[in-house]
Amino acid sequence: MDISGSSSMPLRPPEQAPRDPKLMQAARDLEANFLTEMLKNAGVGKARDSFGGGAGEDQFSSFLTREYANGMVEAGGIGLAESLYNALVKASEASK
pLDDT tens, per residue, the chain with 96 residues: 455 555 555 555 556 655 789 999 999 999 999 999 999 999 886 766 666 666 677 778 889 899 999 999 999 999 999 999 999 899 988 887
Question: What would the 3-class secondary structure string for the chain be?
Answer: CCCCCCCCCCCCCCCCCCCCHHHHHHHHHHHHHHHHHHHHHHCCCCCCCCCCCHHHHHHHHHHHHHHHHHHHHHCCCCCHHHHHHHHHHHHHHHCC
How much is the pLDDT for 35? 96
Q: Which of 58, 17, 20, 16 is nearest to 40 (CA)?
A: 58
How much is the pLDDT for 14? 56
pTM score of the predicted model? 0.70
How much is the pLDDT for 61? 86
* Cα separation, 80 vs 31, whole angstroms: 6
